[in-house]
Every structure is written in C-alpha cells, then in structure tokens.
Chains A and B, each alone.
Chain A
Amino acid sequence: EDQVTQSPEALRLQEGESSSLNCSYTVSGLRGLFWYRQDPGKGPEFLFTLYSAGEEKEKERLKATLTKKESFLHITAPKPEDSATYLCAVLPRGGYQKVTFGTGTKLQVIP
C-alpha cells in the first residue's frame, strides 16, 4: 500500500528564517510526486510536480527536490503570506491509479 508521511506536522518560523519540509513516501514505482499549498477553507493550490529522482523545481521562495525515498520543499526567506498547510501527494506508476496524500505540514511565518 502506498504511504506518504510528512514532517514536521507544524512549523513556526520567523520571517526570513529558511527551512525545509519533508515528505517521505513508499510507492511501487513513482509516476509523479505533487506539492500543494492549502489556505484555510480553500482548495489545494498546485505548486510542483516531480517525476524522477534528482529533479528540482523552483517557484519564488520555494524549491522542491526529489530522491528515491523522499521529497523536500525548501522555503527560503519566508514571508507571512507563505503561511499555509503544505500537502505532498504521490501517484503510483502501476496498479490502482489513485493519488495518496500526506497529512500535511502547517507552516506559520511570524513577522
């Protein structure tokens, strides 16, 4: 069974204090790994799709990386508007084509 574990569950950062969120996964062949941002009461907002180990993608202060067992979302010099819950999800290459989500990391950036 596919599994996704995100850590930490919650993270509190000072504005400008860089850090990383972790997503560890177990899947029988990875078709894609996805990162989303979710603000309270809203739908998840797509950030990145990663397909193979070694791949990296960047968007503003966010950078996502992928290895064979985990993915990191690096946040450089965060701002209060980066506060949100960040969700990681994986899609297996074969079998049942269903995305499995982690439980998310709730990020709070304090001015």
Chain B
Amino acid sequence: DTEVTQTPKHLVMGMTNKKSLKCEQHMGHRAMYWYKQKAKKPPELMFVYSYEKLSINESVPSRFSPECPNSSLLNLHLHALQPEDSALYLCASSQDWGTGNGNTIYFGEGSWLTVV
C-alpha cells in the first residue's frame, strides 16, 4: 500500500469554485511533488517542493496554487479552473530532490478532478 495519501479521491467542481487537494506522506521524505495525468499519457510534472520550499514550477497557470505547510503535507489550491484541467492529479514524494540516490519518487493513488 502506498504511504502517500491523497484526499479527496474524486472531486467535481464548477469553473467558479475554489477547492483544494490534500496530500500527506509518512515516510519522512523531504521532497514532495504534484503531477497531472491525462488519459493514456504519462504523468506531467507541475511543482516540486524540497525542504518545504518551492523548487520547480513548470510554468503552471496561476489558477493552480501549491502550498507546503510542513514536510509531510502538500496542498493544491484550485480556483477558476477550466474543463481542460480535468485530469488525475498525483501527489508524490521522494527522500531527497536533486542530490544523491534518494530520488525514487513514490506516488499516491491520485485525485480525480472533473471541472464542469
């Protein structure tokens, strides 16, 4: 079983709504990630946090706002999304980011987002 927990598993939101996706990891990892995955495509990196600081933002639109309250928690705040943002959003973590061999990324089960 994955040790990266995501909530909710499913979310339906209107284009004017504000919602959040939440993620928690219990492995003591110092790096956490948000990925987006469309059907039949590989995961696409959105954000990387390392030691609670944003290290990578893959030019993601500002309607997606990440937050890392502490090293175990990661949130993705959603506002004014478009129907094309509907996808599986994956949270992940790794022991470290950018150094040594502790870079194996472990994924959560994902949150299915539908924008209507």
Q: Which residues of A contact B (CB under 8 A)?
A: 31-32, 34, 36, 41-46, 49, 51, 87, 89, 91, 97-99, 101-104
Contacts and interface: CB of A to CB of B under 8 A. Distances in A.
Please tell me the size bucket of the interface on B.
20 to 34
Given A42-B109, A97-B98, A98-B56, A32 B103 contact: yes
Contacts of B112: 41
Interface in B19-63: 41-43, 45, 48, 56
B70 interface: no
Contacts of B107: 36, 43-46
Interface in B82-116: 88, 90, 92, 97-98, 101, 103-110, 112
Interface of B: 2, 4, 6, 41-43, 45, 48, 56, 88, 90, 92, 97-98, 101, 103-110, 112
Contacts of A34: 104-105
Contacts of B2: 43, 45
Contact of B104 (A43, A46, A104): A46
B101 A103 contact: no
Given A41-B112, A43-B2, A43-B109, A98 B104 contact: no
B103 A43 contact: no
A85 to B, nearest CB: 9
A97 B97 contact: yes
15 contacts: A34-B104, A41-B88, A41-B112, A42-B109, A43-B6, A43-B88, A43-B90, A43-B110, A44-B90, A98-B45, A98-B56, A99-B45, A101-B42, A103-B41, A103-B42
